[in-house]
Chain A
Amino acid sequence: MAGDATAQVQRNARLMELLARTALADQRAFAELYRLTAPHLYAVALRILREGAAAEEVLQESFVNVWHHAASYVAAKSQPLTWLTGIVRNRCLDRLRRREIDTVTMDDDGEGVNIAAEGPTPLELLLAGADALAVRSCIEALEGGAKQAIALAFYQGLSHSELARHLKQPLGTVKSWVRRALERLRACLDSLGVTR
């Protein structure tokens, strides 16, 4: 969904209005908010959890949460879709954490990491996402391995040890790739005015 800027601004204004009305317990506004954002948020959850039933549950929990806490958005500074995406991603990562705790006795070097086979690869998504935000230069400035690691962690929810296995690198190498890539991203994105 690359960037017709006016359409973006209009969509954000619409979502803000719907969130504000949801905060006042307007069920019709809430239904419209769901209609406009659920397909995007469901895609986020599906990629990270790689399981339809779990993604459905996260979507359900997230929107119930939004219904009760929409008021905490009203004066917040972030864009509405960013706020919603954060809620969904945090719940997904909570689930991954529980899965990891449940399977803590399983060996760490067993089967490889299951990456979604359909649709664009994480790296393609990262570049497309960066294009839409006009920050492609920041992504392209990252080294190949670091770029892969950031894409896999962000879109697929891979942990450091999963990244190490998938990229066939020592854990320490992957950790420092990610840390350095985030530092460079911060400097680059901020110089392009991504944050306030």
Chain B
Amino acid sequence: MNFRAPGRADALASAYVLGTLRNRARTRFERALRTDAVLIDAVQRWEERLLPLAEALPPVAPPARVWTAILARIRADPRTPRASRSAWTSLALWRGLALTALAAVFALAVGLLVTAPERREGTLVAVLAAQDTKPVAVASADRTGRSLTVKLIAPVELAANRTLQLWALPEGGNPRPLGLLPATGVARLTLSGPAEQTLRDVPTLAVSLEPQGGSPTGLPTGPVLFTGPVQRLY
């Protein structure tokens, strides 16, 4: 399927959101949607156009067993934090991470250990991915260092006049820009202070699609393509 022909991305995105894009065409489209920023943007716009129309449906109360089942599942999930934190909790958290993500983290951690001029005490790592999909980028920093290294694992398709921008999403505050990312390769971003302090209140990093040169407003203006929780390996 050619997603690059003019108007094609938008036509496919509209059929995808309406629901008439089916079967193998839908599967292929979803695969492309993981990394193609043009498609992600087109889909998000069509969702804004069409999905609010669903609010006309008269609400129907679901049976109580649905909520019971949801609660049971999230409580049984090792990724759900427990009330008390212990070494075992963080172990469980690790086990919950996708295997691919783990592999990426370890490959990177090993790389850092090999190349680091001196041994540091710990590393911050975030594996960035679109929802439910394979990692697209890994961000990492020495906890005492002032630079954040971002490695694109999968190349991202970008229109010529667009760029990727990395953000820190602090708890209860506005996103803070961390820097621009290339569509492929490795970026080295300078932080305003040591990573452990700059990212202290930041549970999540995110990548948004922005006009060339980055967001003109200091806040994300385009769709958020990838997010990932910040893991503190210390």
**Smallest CB separation, B90 vs chain A (Å):** 14
- Decide if B28 is an interface residue (CB 8 Å cutoff): no
A182 touches B22 (CB 8 A): no
B53 touches A196 (CB 8 A): no
**Smallest CB separation, A196 vs chain B (Å):** 7
Of the candidates A34, A72, A129, A159, which one forms a contact with B22 in the assembled complex, judged by CB atoms under 8 Å apart? Answer: A159
Bound-state Cα–Cα, A42 to B60, Å: 6
Of the candidates B26, B44, B53, which one forms a contact with A77 in the assembled complex, judged by CB atoms under 8 Å apart? Answer: B44
Of the candidates A39, A96, A179, A183, which one forms a contact with B62 in the assembled complex, judged by CB atoms under 8 Å apart? Answer: A39
A182 touches B11 (CB 8 A): yes
A64-B70, A178-B20 known; A132 vs B80 contact (CB < 8 Å): no
A86-B51, A101-B23, A194-B49 known; A186 vs B56 contact (CB < 8 Å): no
Interface of A is mostly: helix
A23-B204, A75-B208, A76-B223 known; A56 vs B80 contact (CB < 8 Å): no
Chain B neighbourhood of A96, CB < 8 A: 22
Chain A neighbourhood of B71, CB < 8 A: 27
Chain B neighbourhood of A196, CB < 8 A: 45, 48
Residues of chain A at the chain B interface (Cβ within 8 Å): 1, 20, 23-25, 27, 30-31, 34, 38-40, 42-44, 46-48, 52, 55-56, 59-60, 63-65, 67-69, 71-72, 74-79, 81-82, 85-86, 89, 93, 96-97, 100-101, 119-120, 125-126, 128-133, 150, 153-155, 157-160, 163, 178-179, 182-183, 185-186, 189-190, 194-196
Known contacts A40-B59, A56-B65, A97-B27; 5 additional CB pairs below 8 A are A20-B172, A60-B69, A68-B79, A81-B55, A85-B54
Question: 15 A-B Cβ contacts within 8 A?
Answer: A30-B74, A42-B59, A56-B62, A56-B65, A68-B74, A69-B132, A71-B169, A72-B130, A74-B206, A74-B224, A125-B57, A163-B20, A182-B18, A185-B50, A186-B10
